[in-house]
Amino acid sequence: MTPFILPTSDKDFAEQLIRQNMSGYYDQLDMHWDSALFDSEWRTLESYQLVINAHPVGLLCINQDTEACYIRELQIAPQWRRQGLGTAAIHYTVDRARKLGIDTLRLRVFCINPAVALYERMGFHIRKTEDNTHYMQRRIF
């Protein structure tokens, strides 16, 4: 299934989806949501909704520097997972990075998150692991 990937400024949708998806990991890792940090980071990101049938079902947030393009958030609503939406979002990010002349993608993911398998299938490898987090990277050719 191919979603429309559209720019968004809907911070409330983004925060709700992230909190819904990540609460189990936060609980397991004894972490707490920081709304002030989310607010400050939200302003620095290019944010996109993944839309199916005119309904937002996912979120992609990216940013870049001279070294790499970073996937800062990739969240899919639970009922829409395992339908290719994450893959479509990664392909979108690859295309975006190419247009910017960037040849490296990076992301962070909790070690206990099953999305690690998706990222590995998409060509990412673990650069380092620190504080229950994998730092992953892939080159764009």
- Strands, E, within the chain: which ranges? 4-7, 46-52, 55-64, 69-76, 104-110, 125-130, 133-139
The overall pTM is greater than 0.85? yes
Q: How many domains does the chain have?
A: 1
Q: Please state, as a whole number, how many other Cβ atoms lie within 10 Å of the Cβ of residue 5.
A: 20
31 in a structural domain: yes
Digits of tens for pLDDT over the chain (141 positions)?
A: 788 999 999 999 999 999 999 999 999 999 999 999 999 999 999 999 999 999 999 999 999 998 999 999 999 999 999 999 999 999 999 999 999 999 999 999 999 999 999 999 999 999 999 999 999 999 998
Domain that holds residue 77: 4-108
CATH of the domain at 70: 3.40.630.30
